Structure 1
Amino acid sequence: MTQTVTTEEELREFVKFSATVTGFSEFDLWGTGQAEAYYETVVAQQGPDALRRAISSDLSAVPSDPVVKSIIKLWYVGVWYGPELTGRVDVAAWTAPGRSGAKPAVPDDSRPEESLSGQAAPGQEQAGEDRAEAEERKPPFVVSPDAYTEGLLWRAIGAHPAGAKAPGYGSWANPPTLENH
């Protein structure tokens, strides 16, 4: 990943926006130590214009913005998933054997969206742009060594990442306690 030059103001705007869409305070987000890494990831993967559009978007439209969804996932689990495609997703490509060691969810010959020849079934054609986008899509990746342990997911469910943070060994034997956020 290439380094992105960040101005303090852009980073602050990113964190302020992220606080709005994640439901956590800016203080909590800064406390993860991941703000700059996450900002740089979004800019490197989507470009500064896409980030500016997301930040300046109408908050009522946020749930439908794929870049915003990716930013939310990034803060919660520390993984960059990239925006979902707007058209039909190529299920076969994402459930194929060898993809993270997973086997297909359903046998190849029983997928309703594809015929046995591998062509899209009638009414399920994938637009050329979406197909090109699907072929260029990068697999998800963990943004930094600390991203997993600093994910907001753990605070949201009142738990700790197993084996990575206090209280340590055996902590998963007790039910989580929920905090007010």
Structure 2
Amino acid sequence: MIIINKILNVDDYYFDVFMSVSEALTGFSVNELQSTGLAETYYTYILGSMEAATFVEFLTVSKNVFENSFSQDQLKNTIASEIMADPGLNDMAGKVITIWYLGTWEGAYINDLSYKEGLVWNVMHAHPPGAKQPGYKSWNIKPVNSNS
């Protein structure tokens, strides 16, 4: 029970591990993830949506991966062998990726902001329809990947 109360504190070490593994899995920096305004929300949402022991196991394995990796290549290889190769941890990693990119957990949006701040919009160089408009006269600017 102590570990559950400790995890709920976003100033705790486990929150930092969550952010570090999120950075490694999404390819976005911790600062970019924090700028969504959803880091703490996602952390506490995940904890409240599943068995705490499962989340703790994922974070503990992730912590060990970071502690035992001394280069970016080694980190990628260790994530592949320690997290992605394990079916349970792979499933958890997929859920973490999905929550950041789509703002959903098991098919449902976390909140209104999670739709607006999904990383998918940055990757597509787009905006979430109906939520964040591109701005006045934005139709006059060629798309980022335009060949015309």
**TM-score normalised by structure 1 residue count:** 0.56
Q: 1:78 aligns with which of 85, 96, 103?
A: 103
Q: Distance in 2 between matches of 1:172 and 1:45?
A: 41
Corresponding position: 1:24 with 2:44 = no
Partner of 1:51: 55
Paired residues for 1:93-172 under 5 Å? 140-168=107-135
Answer yes or no: is 1:6 the counterpart of 2:9. yes
8 A contact 1:16–1:26 mirrored in 2 = yes
Q: Cα RMSD over matched residues?
A: 2.5
In proportion to residue count, which structure has more helix? 2
Q: How many percent identity over aligned positions? A: 31
Higher relative contact order (CA 8 A, sep 6+): 1
Task: Work out whether 1:60 is the aligned partner of 2:80.
Answer: yes
Change (3 A) 1:59 1:168: same
Deviation at 1:7, TM superposition (A): 3.5
| Cα separation, 2, equivalents of 1:31 and 1:150 | 9
TM-score by length of structure 2 reads 0.67
Quick one: distance in 2 between partners of 1:175 and 1:163? 21
- The answer as to whether partners of 2:10 and 2:40 remain within 8 angstroms in 1 is no
Query: What count of residue pairs does the alignment treat as equivalent?
Result: 117
CA distance in 2, matches of 1:66, 1:76: 15
After superposition, the Cα gap between the structure-2 partners of 1:6 and 1:46, relative to the gap in structure 1 and judged at 3 Å, is same
Question: Could you tell me which amino acid in structure 2 is paired with residue 34 of structure 1?
Answer: L
**Compared CA separation, residues 151 and 162, structure 1 to 2 (3 A):** same
Q: CA deviation at 1:17?
A: 1.1
The 1:173–1:71 alpha-carbon spacing in structure 2 relative to 1, beyond 3 Å, is: farther
Which blocks of at least 5 consecutive residues in structure 1 are unaligned? 82-139
The secondary structure found in structure 2 opposite 1:146 is: helix
Unaligned runs of at least 5 residues, structure 2: 1-6, 63-77
